[in-house]
Structure 1
Amino acid sequence: MPIADFTWAAAICQTAAGGSAGLLEVLVTHPLDVVKTRMQLQGTQAQHGEILYRGFYDCFSKMYRYEGLSGFWKGIMPPIVFETPKRAFKFLLFEQCQRLFMFGKPKRSAMTFALAGALAGTLECFFLNPFEVVKITQQANRYESINTVTVAKQIIEKDGFGLRGLGKGITATMTRNAIFHFVFFGFYYGMKIKLPQRDDPFMDFLQRTSLAFLAGVLAILHSAPFDMAKSRIQGPQPKPGKIKYEWTLRTMQMVYREEGFRALFKGLSPSLMRVGPGGALMLLVYEYGFGYCKSKLI
């Protein structure tokens, strides 16, 4: 299908494959997302009544000890409800807006995929951000599991829909998404068009899996400080009633000044464990799902 052509059959395939890929990735990798958020939210010293996590395995074991297995699934409903349509929208937008970044060339380049990915990742934030605020609020709670609707109502009643409520941290979310998807899609598809295509299905699968894994790792390394800032802004503030973390760059500066350079990458281990395999899973499910659907409809 020429890149400039739009067909409803292709759009349906892209939407269905993207939604399925997003849902499967959430179900498999959510516990690592909870651990990542917990590590990002804490400072260098424990607050009153707070448990201090001293690393990924320490966080994992303490969560299991004090909160049980269900603690790893806190905040799962917002992603389940939202990831399917969000991923569907993102992959559809990614595929259809590539034509905007051809720059007069007959073939797509790594920059085409990178810019299309960055645009798709940025635009999804307007729909994503409220769910992220609710999810992180749930994940941050160490003592009880609160219903998703209840958390959303509490946030709206207290702070509304603006930058203090469901819209808080949207600039950090947009910056993180733009950087992540620029690197992720740019590296994966840029390398894919440069490497020879494998005739053996198994070797083709291994090549795609390796590229997707590396793309996820590189994307996380570039976007991790912005993800940390997003969690600090959207999560509970250190002192109730006083807003410390509000703007992205200022939050990163404060964390760097108070906790050191390594603090900008808090939660990196679970992020890499989640997005490396999770990103590979998502991309492969999308590609194989899209290919299968296209063979049936187009």
Structure 2
Amino acid sequence: MAILFEVTVRPLAHLQFLAGGLSGFIEIICFHPLDVVKTRMQIQGTRALHGEVVYSCPLDAFVNIYRYEGLSSLWKGIVPPICVETPKRGGKFLMYEYFKPYFHFGAPQPTPLTHAVSGSVAGILESFLVNPFEVVKITQQSHREKHLRTLSVVKYIIKHDGYGIKGLYRGITALVARNAVFHFGFFGFYNAIKDIVPSPENSTYDLLRKVIIAGLASSLACVMSVTLDMAKCRIQGPQPVKGEVKYRWTINTIRTTFREEGFRALFKGLGALILRAGPGGAMLLVTYEYLFEFLKSKYI
């Protein structure tokens, strides 16, 4: 029995990791420009600093980045996500599948709460792997004048701020909170809605059903977590005043933003976030499911 279990589980784990990694890579390449737009909008204040353009909406940010910085600027900071997101997404789906049996809460089969809690735990664990790459990525994305080389940014951060909570792990508490809330909503809503909406016999319509549900689930999860995402970007990005740390901790960042810029500022970047995470999340989750089933049929 032990030998049979080992032979069965190991190939599934490898296939889950591979399917998650490939789906993550495809999603990053397609939707990274919207991540740049989201970051720019979240770190800007209400007034322009040093003559910088203040973006009024995602489309305005997209147009102005292209106009003043060139097409390639829309892929600023893509190296860190490609380096970490591909294996990270594979690891996330692997952990998500691994934790599901532990969160049935007495139910014979996985419930939407099972998927929500499993996704949340997987999201929390991945935060500790991805945080240094997020700091580097946001530093690159926020720099408007030129393209910063990834290794140069890494060396600069380590030299001046170190590896810890002031350096490469700056904003880790905000990232953990953001990931916990987002993945709870994403996996929970997706599986809850998918169970309610009947599956059509036609495979094309079934694919469309899953894409729409995944996009809706991702958008709802964005609304739940956007304030934490805004705080994360402000903590991890360049501070408004050079030499002064204005944004250090999650709750204080949210309070300061609300006090100085009002309630709407807590949802900065939501439009770009939904544009990116809605179709991006749909592509990620549905691609993972179909790739995993395809790989299972080929190799199991």
Instruction: Give the paired residue count.
Output: 295
Match of 1:220 in 2: 222
Counterpart of 2:281 in structure 1 is 279
User: Normalising by structure 1, what TM-score?
Assistant: 0.97
Question: In structure 1, how many angstroms separate the alpha carbons of the residues matched to 2:154 and 2:145?
Answer: 18
Matching of residue 64 in structure 1 with residue 63 in structure 2: no
- In 2, the alpha carbon distance for the partners of 1:171 and 1:154 equals 22
Q: Cα offset for 1:198?
A: 2.4
Q: How far apart, CA to CA, are the structure 2 residues paired with 1:138 and 1:166?
A: 14
Q: Give the 5 Å matches for 1:223-262.
A: 223-262=225-264
Distance 1:96 1:20 in 2: 19
Report the residue type matching 2:121 in the other structure.
Answer: L
Q: 2:84 aligns with which of 79, 82, 85?
A: 82
Shift of 1:210: 1.1
Task: Using structure 2 for the length normalisation, give the TM-score.
Answer: 0.96
Partner of 1:28: 30
Corresponding position of 1:95: 97
What does residue 159 of structure 2 align with?
A: 157
Cα distance in 2 for partners of 1:236, 1:285 equals: 35
Return the offset for 1:196: 2.7
SS of the residue corresponding to residue 78 of structure 1 reads helix
Paired residue secondary structure (1:124): helix
Counterpart of 2:21 in structure 1 is 19
Distance 1:61 1:160 in 2: 36
**204-213 vs 115-124, which deviates more?**
204-213
Q: Measure the CA separation in 2 of the matches of 1:260 and 1:75.
A: 29
Deviation at 1:194, TM superposition (A): 3.5
SS across alignment from 2:280: helix
Structure 2 gaps of 5+ residues are: none
Instruction: Map 1:40-189; keep pairs closer than 5 Å.
Output: 40-189=42-191
CA distance in 2, matches of 1:116, 1:283: 15
Ranges in structure 1 where 5+ consecutive residues have no aligned partner? none
SS of the aligned residue for 2:93 comes to: helix
Which residue in 2 is equivalent to 1:10? 12
Paired residue for 2:202, among 200, 206, 231?
200
Cα distance per residue 1:127-180 (max 9 Å; x no partner): 010000000000000000011011011000000011110000000001000000
Percent identity between the two aligned chains: 52
Work out the CA distance in 1 between the residues paired with 2:261 and 2:282: 32
Shift of 1:292: 0.4
1:283 partner letter: L
Q: After TM superposition, where is structure 1 displaced by more than 4 Å over at least 4 residues in a row?
A: none
Supply the AA of the counterpart residue of 2:148. I
